[in-house]
Structure 1
């Protein structure tokens, strides 16, 4: 019975880190796809469309949830 809390803890930790791992795997697949493009212009455009790493994505998402913008003075507000 003492193994159950340890296994539960391990399962929770793995599930929490799983989102970041899946995000990174997807990002790596996108970079590979872009790097296979023959035309340098298409490759560069493809690489620019790829989003940030998971940590930056999470920070941006949390900021949006709190209503914080990266820009100090968004257009139309001063």
Structure 2
């Protein structure tokens, strides 16, 4: 089994940031969240801004590829 190791600068991003980094239109991101294709971080209260869970997305992708998953979050920006 292959291992995929990721280093993320942040585990969560806004809809806007996810649209920017994925190249998907903002409204497409909203639809994908609404139908469950993009996972969200659980909100502690109703007023919190919804955040896309990048760790869960990467984990799903590596499992789909049949690889082991390992991730870490760094305070250093990605190169």
The TM-score bracket by the shorter chain reads: 0.3 to 0.5
TM-score normalised by the chain length of structure 1: 0.33
Query: Which one has a bigger Cα radius of gyration?
Result: 1
**Structure of greater relative contact order (alpha carbons < 8 Å, 6+ residues apart):** 2
Name the structure with the higher helix share.
1
